[in-house]
Structure 1
Amino acid sequence: MQEKNIMMDDAAIRRALTRIAHEIIERNKGVEDCVIIGIKTRGIYLAERLVKRIEQIENVRIPNGELDITLYRDDLTHKSTDAIVHGSILPEITGKTVILVDDVLYTGRTVRAALDALVDQGRPKLIQLAVVVDRGHRELPIRPDYVGKNLPTAKSEIVAVELSEVDGIDQVSILQKDE
């Protein structure tokens, strides 16, 4: 049985998202012309939570969407030459500040795929990245603009972000990989 070290409970996740919402508002001097896009799967729910927090603070509803990066991943053995973002639901992003949301930032490859998918759909003015957990070990020069928690980890560990919408519980855990 894997040992599970809980690093963030539901209250810690809630506080981190509230802080990120305030940072988004402050850095962008409000949320005019901002769009929040969640990377499937858990990024979608985190993006929706951020939209609600910002709406509570600013009394403004930010357009949000879902980004499916499946066809943009560099670990696929076959990539269609006319790749389309099939499972994506996106508002207009051209000329907007897009805040891309994901659960964990690790190597940077998921974010690279998301950037490729986004620019195939339009030309944002600016793209920012928000993550609940930054665990390090980057393979690409990608850095988040907003971080819920920095969790230095070993490559032999797995960071699991569980959300009530998918997993029935809100928590962030570190597990040891089975050797």
Structure 2
Amino acid sequence: MEKKDLTSGIVLVLTGAAFFAGSLLLPWKDTGYDWFGAPGLVPAILAALLVLCGLRLILRSRKEPDFYARLSAAETPLLCSDEDEEDVSGEGTAHPAWMHREGPRAVLTVTLCCAYVLLLGRVPYMAATAAFITGFILLFRGAGILKALFIGGAASVSIWFVFYKIFAVFLP
């Protein structure tokens, strides 16, 4: 059993439950809102999905204790190749040494998110979002530069289109 999955799953379930409770406090039956247009609907759906993701982690930690061993033994690594990378575990894992420690990854994630927030409003939304997604992919070695740029650009345009054009949500 991966203790991190169990702990993360419990945190996600509790966070999702708290967000769901908060979404119930938003207006649902006030005049001017149909049930599908209520401000609490989307947060409730997202909170329920967060709870489901947490439950999946909890179940995986209990039912598939060898999940990470099978993942590292796979021929095609998910994150990056093992060329010129340190192997701290000695088991032939495909991740660089720093990816095995949560501290640096968490600090990099928070730093990247803060930089994104600072860019919003100063740089056009699509450019900031594309830079954030591309940076995240490159930082965590999810793909090469061209593929990361393509994914970042495509995701940025897709997000803008869905929220701005379809849902008429004004973006920063």
- Taking structure 2 as the reference length, what is the TM-score of the superposition? 0.27
- Taking structure 1 as the reference length, what is the TM-score of the superposition? 0.26
Larger radius of gyration: 2
More strand by share: 1
More helix by share: 2
Q: Which has the higher contact order (CA 8 A, sep 6+)?
A: 1
